[in-house]
Amino acid sequence: VAAAYRQSGIPCDGLHIDVDFQDNYRTFTHSEIKFPNAAALLAKLHAQGFKCSTNITPLLTDNGMDEKGDTTVYSQRQDILKMGGLIYGTYVGQGPSGTLFVGGVNYGMNFHGFNPYRYPPLKPNEYGNTALQASGNYPDLGRADVREAWGRQYAHLIQDLGMDMIWQDMMCPALDSTKFPYNTFPLTLMVHDGLGYAPNGACHNAYALFLAKATWEGLRRLRPDRRNFIIARGGFAGIQRYCALWTGDSASSWDFLAINLPEVLNLGLSGVPLSGCDIGGFAKGSASVGESIYGPGFVHGGVTNYELLTRWMHLGAFLPWYRNHYDGYNKQFQEPYNYGEPVPTHCRKYVELRYRMLQIHYDAVYEWTQTGMPPARALFLNDPSDLQVYNHLGDQFFVGRDFLVAPILFPAQQQNPPIATRSVYLPNTAAWYAFKDNMAPLDTAVPAGTHIPNWEAGLDQVPIYIRAGAILPMRSRVEQYVGQLSENPLEITVYPGPDRDYTIYLDDGITTRAENNGEYRTTRIRQTSQGTARTIAIQRLINSYTPPERYMLVRILYDPTAPSLPASVSVNGDALPEVGSVGQLAHRAGDAFAQDPGTRSLIVKVMDDRPSIRIAVGPTEGEDNMRDSFDKEFDSP
């Protein structure tokens, strides 16, 4: 899979290994049979730019057998058992029990030996199918000492193997529904709620929060100088302190695609900034193609319909959390490169756009830390006074403030090839430009409050509009993974329109130095227009981090109704030399600019060696007056 992603040219940063990574469902362990050189494997993946995670549930199996069928010590469970940290079978109205509560999980079915590895003592039934189940005990995570002990158990994965992330699953905890009627702890089971013992029914939601907190604090102790990332399936108020969320095991159907967006928007409104769905659906659904056929080492069929997968990949490219996740026991494949063309090309287009947009996502998360505004926003968060936006609560959204996405969430009305037609509404607070990704000139601005009734989208298209005056910082080059290039300069695109500003946030993206030492940079970008003259000012506000990039590019777009491109550009009052083409800017020493007639834009290269940069473009008449008024405004807080 790792090699195929790199060969296909579809950018990818994360790989997730499910519970089959473990030694016979022993949480915190790894299988020496399936992954005999796990540390070396992860190191190899790291060298290819991948960050890896594995699935961790709160189950501590009571099965004494390891994957070889030998009775061996399960040290992580023993550590918590010896301290009395497991939940006992004590129920409301009963005295303390000396017997541990025994729960269990159901991981599905291994049909016809598709997975050839053993899970002793599990054996296939008369049809050759093995029910993948595990029973066991659960930590009493309301207790601080148990949370501390739980966190210690990650040492093998984090320190010995070099695992990067944790995939926190079954958090409620989810129990085998065939044995537990509520699919979780009995409601009368007594558990610690953080203050004392209470029935699970009175404090059920807190268990997932305690689990996330225990994991986050444990990782922080094991690896204090590096940021840790946890993707979780459940939570409670406050979960955003520890985890991002995914919305559970969706199925491959258009209904699940349609609810993906409102789920993420609602989580954002609930204080959780980072969330997403299983792209393409985890389980088989109404849009799965072909019956699944099983045999030793293979499964054929059960593949998600190509149109659904493509549209889901498109939507996910603009949401905070983006993971293609599916049940490999029942589906032959779901990676976009395994489909025939044009699916890989149509998916790659928007994955590449996402990678170039990562600075916009990062800035939006920083804004969330300051204001609570989520990165993925329902329309009314940015334009609450426009009553028409409330008719599009679940089918349009913003990335940040100015990037409006109207994804296709339904099957195309026209097939062969699929062309979907949908309505798009543009809020009445601004004019809007159709997004061209700087590949073509802007169309004439669409007036504020326009309703487009029939936007036709082929399978390579997503309706996207940019607010007039927007400032969008994007990486100038596509990387196959974050950090592939030693330098990847920002290209800051400035759209025509009213005066606006934007804040860029930069840090090293890996360590805890920004949090602990204040090592980060915020930069305010402001554009002001006066007639045909435009000024873009770039000023560092907090300047405690230096990025590796030596320069930045500022692309100034012009409306098609504007006169010809101006030929004069100055930086901090000094006229810039013009080079013959945009491609020459990267090789030009120092500040310079180029015209790009094909997109009706100017691209200005400025060296990032000054705390304050003023780019002035256009006629000189009246420029001094504009500069004076701009200075007064820009120097104000």
> Is residue 116 pLDDT above 60, yes or no?
yes
State mean pLDDT over 503-507: 98
With respect to residue 452, please indicate whether it lies within any of the assigned structural domains: no
| pLDDT tens, residue by residue, 569-585 | 999 999 999 999 999 99
Percent of the chain, pLDDT > 90?
Answer: 95
pLDDT at residue 624 in the model: 47
Write the CATH number for 30.
3.20.20.80
Q: How many CB atoms lie within 10 A of CB 3?
A: 8
Q: How many CB atoms lie within 10 A of CB 88?
A: 17
State mean pLDDT over 416-444: 97
Token pair of 99 as six digits: 């017997």
Partner residues linked to 551 by β-bridges: 607
Of 329, 358, 387, the position where a domain reaches its end is: 358
Residue 176 CA to residue 174 CA, distance in Å, equals: 7
With respect to residue 254, please indicate whether it lies within any of the assigned structural domains: yes
With respect to residue 404, please indicate whether it lies within any of the assigned structural domains: no
Residue 131 CA to residue 520 CA, distance in Å, equals: 51
Of 343, 358, 373, the position where a domain reaches its end is: 358
Residue 530 CA to residue 626 CA, distance in Å, equals: 7
The type of residue at 352 is E
With respect to residue 189, please indicate whether it lies within any of the assigned structural domains: yes
User: Mean pLDDT score of the chain, rounded to an integer?
Assistant: 95
Token pair of 576 as six digits: 């810039």
| pLDDT tens, residue by residue, 29-69 | 999 999 999 999 999 999 999 999 999 999 999 999 999 99
Residue corresponding to tokens 């159709």: 434
Residue 489 CA to residue 587 CA, distance in Å, equals: 13
Give yes or no: residues 50 and 179 share one domain: yes
The answer to whether the predicted template modeling score (pTM) of the entire model surpasses 0.75 is yes
φ/ψ of 366, rounded to 5, equals -60, -45
| pLDDT tens, residue by residue, 207-245 | 999 999 999 999 999 999 999 999 999 999 999 999 999
pLDDT at residue 621 in the model: 42
Residue 263 CA to residue 244 CA, distance in Å, equals: 13
State mean pLDDT over 294-322: 97
Closest to 92 in 3D by CA, of 200, 195, 201, 199: 199
Residue 218 CA to residue 232 CA, distance in Å, equals: 15
pLDDT at residue 626 in the model: 46
Residue 165 CA to residue 151 CA, distance in Å, equals: 14
Whether the CB-CB separation of 432 and 397 falls below 8 Å is answered with no
Give yes or no: residues 151 and 284 share one domain: yes
| pLDDT tens, residue by residue, 101-110 | 999 999 999 9
pLDDT at residue 618 in the model: 86
pLDDT at residue 635 in the model: 54
Query: Please, which pLDDT band fits residue 565 given cuts at 50, 70 and 90?
Result: confident
pLDDT at residue 596 in the model: 95
Give yes or no: residues 87 and 230 share one domain: yes
Partner residues linked to 192 by β-bridges: 197
Give yes or no: residues 345 and 482 share one domain: no
Residue 105 CA to residue 177 CA, distance in Å, equals: 8
pLDDT at residue 631 in the model: 52
Write the CATH number for 495.
2.60.40.1180
With respect to residue 420, please indicate whether it lies within any of the assigned structural domains: no
Residue 318 CA to residue 320 CA, distance in Å, equals: 7
State mean pLDDT over 392-401: 97
Query: Please, which pLDDT band fits residue 532 given cuts at 50, 70 and 90?
Result: confident
Residue 24: domain span = 2-358
Of 312, 340, 358, the position where a domain reaches its end is: 358
With respect to residue 425, please indicate whether it lies within any of the assigned structural domains: no
With respect to residue 573, please indicate whether it lies within any of the assigned structural domains: yes
CA distances from 40 to 77, 162, 166, 604, 611 (A): 26, 9, 19, 45, 44
Percent of the chain, pLDDT > 70?
Answer: 97
Residue 424 CA to residue 551 CA, distance in Å, equals: 38
Whether the CB-CB separation of 476 and 490 falls below 8 Å is answered with yes
Partner residues linked to 60 by β-bridges: 137
The type of residue at 367 is E
Count of the separate structural domains present in the chain: 2
> Is residue 625 pLDDT above 70, yes or no?
no
State mean pLDDT over 387-392: 98
With respect to residue 462, please indicate whether it lies within any of the assigned structural domains: no
pLDDT at residue 92 in the model: 97
